[in-house]
Amino acid sequence: MTLVMGIVNVTPDSFSDGGRYLDADAAIAHARALRAAGADLLDVGGESTRPGAERVGAAVEQARVLPVVTALAAEGAVVSIDTMNAATALAAVAAGARIVNDVSGGLADPDMLPAIAGTDADIVLQHWRGHSADMYAHAEYADVRSDLVREVAARAAAATAAGIPASRVIVDPGIGFGKRGPQNWEALRALDALVGLGHRVLVGTSRKGFIADALREISAEAPAAEVTEQRRDLATAVTSVLAAQAGAWAVRVHDVSATRDALGVLSRWEGR
């Protein structure tokens, strides 16, 4: 059964829910609600990686996330720390996080892979071609499928070379990162090849711009038309089911309830 990772953005500027849970108590309450709705994992992040986002310092990031990680881990939740900073990753693991979700695949901080090798934490290595401020400048591919799989395999190899056992490596196609609209659909169609690398695969499509673009096209709306969270969440649930069918280990979402329902229907369809 594909797991559901609930998103806990402890930030003022994340693209979907930035600012709603910047206060630690609000973030903890939100995380508890996600867990009650069926989240298997909770991904806590203190730095926005939306397109155009600016970096924040490690001290600010840690001040945001560590109280949340500590509280949730103490309650028995399986916590993932969403960070590109090795110092933050180590502090979060010490506070109880069991997974480090590095959207840069270990490229933003050269200390990340050796740091995680010295812990028992798993690591998510996402496909990445540059920081949010200019990531679309690197969205040029000879072939999305082959380039994606080759680059993800290289990051997984770098992790094992740094001393992280392959059993602790999770890969992510990096939907929305350094990929323009249609390229994201090509990346999703490459999930079978990513699964074939032999690592667990995490997929995060939740509420992203390429989904809104597709919904506008489907309904013949103007390119700038507003697409509600409800519509994005429904479309996200569909992509989560398709990702599960392709062999994804987990899906990272804002709306846990809708995703849990969709995956439950898939389970019934498949007779499980």
Q: In whole angstroms, what is the distance from residue 116 CA to residue 168 CA? A: 10
Residue 252 a catalytic site member:
yes
Q: Which two tokens stand for residue 160?
A: 């094992």
| Number of residues assigned to the chain | 272
58-74 vs 86-94: helix crossing angle, rounded to 10: 20
Q: In whole angstroms, what is the distance from residue 95 CA to residue 68 CA? A: 9
Catalytic residue among 64, 200, 252, 260: 252
**Cα dihedral 152, 192, 124, 230 in deg (nearest 10):** 120
203: left (phi over 0), alpha (psi -120 to 50) or beta: beta
Catalytic residue among 35, 208, 232, 260: 208
243: left (phi over 0), alpha (psi -120 to 50) or beta: alpha
Residue 50 a catalytic site member:
no
Answer whether 83's CB lies under 8 Å from 59's CB: no
**Cα dihedral 189, 194, 199, 201 in deg (nearest 10):** -30
Answer whether 18's CB lies under 8 Å from 47's CB: no
Element (H, E) at 102: strand 99-102
* Residues with catalytic roles: 208, 252
